[in-house]
Amino acid sequence: MRNTAADKQPIFNRRNLFGATAAGLAASSLAACATSGSDDEGGEVTVGEDAENPFGVDPKAPLDVVIFDGGFGNEYAVAHQEIYKRAFPDAEITHLATQAIAETQQPRFAEGKPADVLDNSGAQQIPMDALVGDGELAELTPLLDAPSYDDPELTVRDTLREGVLEAGTFNGKVFALNYVFNAWTIWYDAKLFRDQGWTPPTTWDEMIALCPTIKAAGIAPWTYAGQHPVYLYDMFLMLAGRHGGVQVLKDIDNLKAGAWEHESVALAAEAMHSIGASGFLLEGSAGIDHIQSQTAFNNNEAAFLPCGSWLPNEQKAIAPADFEYAPMGVPALAGSVQPGLISAGGDEPFVVPKNATNLAGAYEYLRIMLSKEGSQIFGDTVQAATVVKGVALDNEAAKMTDALVSNPDDMFQPQFRYWYTKMNEEVRPALGQLINAESTPEEFLQRMQAVADETAADDTIEKFTHED
């Protein structure tokens, strides 16, 4: 959406929060910025010599945990809290599972009374750039440098898969533990393709050639979550990055002048536009949400769906028993120089507010999540990989996703929508209009270059860059 006057208002702070009604805060919290702009220094957590309690957790101190109740549910978090209670049986744990993250948690930040642990995810995610820029988050280096839960000879950092910290790192400092090892892929039903004799395409030309055959079978080639067009973000950027190489995407994130005018970005825009212009979208896709698009996909009303690794778990109660989830990379444009590039790495950001009441307990809770037991619980519960090495999965879709990310050099997570709220708010509707052929590729590129230039020129916005 275009920026409005509301977008330019200062964020809620502790001084003006109490003059706002609860209804007014809920209505305006998403249009305004995220947090209070912390006035306090907050506490600090250091790593002590006790490997069993390296942060010096007060065993009687309560712990306040908020979990995003989305595609992964919250059953795994309940199990993690049981492990915490084994270690600290006198600690009372407050557990909130909700999809209304911003609505329920922004007021708490503004009052200076945030949760101890927050799974800041979903459509109502509090913008990470605001949380970091306002100094609301504790830096997680002490957690990463602490002895791992299972082996004091290894640090927590040593137990993590390669590249998983990048998404939570802002100018060299880690402010979010992205707990899920996620890959954004294109999903299809392997049984449907096998029954129809269709070969999953590896190139864009192969995909375009297959689409009329799919339509002739009474199936729309594509659908997506029209109400949440951010699901198109990684698909579009991987088209551009596969064609021109990962530096094309780093230039976009780094706000390099003219980055949206690059040939590979233009070709990606033309490709996305062609899906709608060619009539390859399921009718009505622009108006449906993620569950509706995923259900249509499960009903074989559409052959391809862009989504993350959580899809099979989120749809397990809905999908037909014989539905065979299979992921593939975004089909590469002709002339692609890095055809294996995939948006993969850490996702589902867990943060520790700097003003949390129980900072030590929050760090310990994250350390438990990253234990062998904690990570295996997650993998078994939701059939998705955590960021911890060595979690065994028996789900075929999860194994296939892991195979797609076998080359660390081909993993890259575009970051501008996390770094810059203004660009995130612009790219969502812009991508929806592009794939529905409601705007031209040229209009899309001009729109995004304009907001990128505006962001780069705004000295009030903290800038972030990828390290070389």
Burial 251-280 (b: 16+ CB within 10 A, else e): bbbbbbeebbebebbbbbbbbbbbbbeeeb
pLDDT value, residue 403: 86
Instruction: Identify the weakest region by mean pLDDT among 28-32, 110-114, 166-170, 307-311.
Output: 28-32
Q: Where are the domains of the chain?
A: 46-182+345-398, 183-344+420-457
- Higher pLDDT among residues 400 and 247, named by residue: 247
pLDDT value, residue 36: 40
Q: Which of 311, 353, 308 lies closest to 128 in space, CA to CA?
A: 353
Task: Please compute the mean of the pLDDT values over residues 295-319 and round it to a whole number.
Answer: 94
Q: How many residues does the chain have?
A: 468
Same CATH fold assignment for domains 46-182+345-398 and 183-344+420-457: yes
Give backbone dihedrals phi and psi of 353, rounded to 5 degrees, phi first: -60, 140
Give CA–CA dist 57/50, Å, rounded. 11
Q: CATH fold of 46-182+345-398, please?
A: D-Maltodextrin-Binding Protein; domain 2 (3.40.190)
pLDDT at 33 over 60: no
Side-chain-facing half-sphere of 13: CA atoms under 13 Å:
9
Task: Please compute the mean of the pLDDT values over residues 20-35 and round it to a whole number.
Answer: 36
Task: Please compute the mean of the pLDDT values over residues 382-386 and round it to a whole number.
Answer: 82
Report pLDDT digits (tens) over 121-176.
Answer: 998 999 999 999 999 999 999 999 999 999 999 999 999 998 899 889 999 999 99
- Higher pLDDT among residues 401 and 253, named by residue: 253
Any idea which residue has 């590249």 for tokens? 163
Give backbone dihedrals phi and psi of 398, rounded to 5 degrees, phi first: -65, -40
- 134 within 8 A of 121, measured Cβ to Cβ: no
pLDDT at 323 over 60: yes
**How would residue 396 be classed by pLDDT, with cut points 50, 70 and 90?**
confident
Side-chain-facing half-sphere of 455: CA atoms under 13 Å:
27
pLDDT at 31 over 90: no
Give CA–CA dist 302/280, Å, rounded. 9
Give CA–CA dist 196/189, Å, rounded. 11
**How would residue 44 be classed by pLDDT, with cut points 50, 70 and 90?**
confident
pLDDT at 93 over 60: yes
pLDDT value, residue 217: 98
pLDDT at 25 over 60: no
**How would residue 468 be classed by pLDDT, with cut points 50, 70 and 90?**
low
CA 151-157-162 angle, to 5 degrees, is 120
pLDDT value, residue 399: 84
Output the CA–CA distances (angstroms, integers) from residue 289 to 73, 213, 296, 314, 319, in the order listed.
18, 26, 11, 14, 16
Report pLDDT digits (tens) over 203-228.
Answer: 999 999 999 999 999 999 999 999 99
CATH of 183-344+420-457, one of 2.60.120.10, 3.40.190.10, 3.40.1130.10, 3.40.50.720: 3.40.190.10
> If you average pLDDT over every residue of the chain, what do you get?
90
Task: Please compute the mean of the pLDDT values over residues 304-332 and round it to a whole number.
Answer: 94
Reduced to 3 states, what is the DSSP secondary structure of residue 361? Answer: helix
Task: Please compute the mean of the pLDDT values over residues 387-402 and round it to a whole number.
Answer: 85
Q: Considering the chain, what percentage of its residues have pLDDT values greater than 90?
A: 79
Tokens representing 53 are 């309690």
pLDDT at 324 over 50: yes
pLDDT value, residue 2: 28
Reduced to 3 states, what is the DSSP secondary structure of residue 214? Answer: helix
pLDDT at 238 over 60: yes
Instruction: Identify the weakest region by mean pLDDT among 1-15, 27-41, 202-216, 435-449.
Output: 1-15
pLDDT value, residue 15: 28
pTM: 0.82
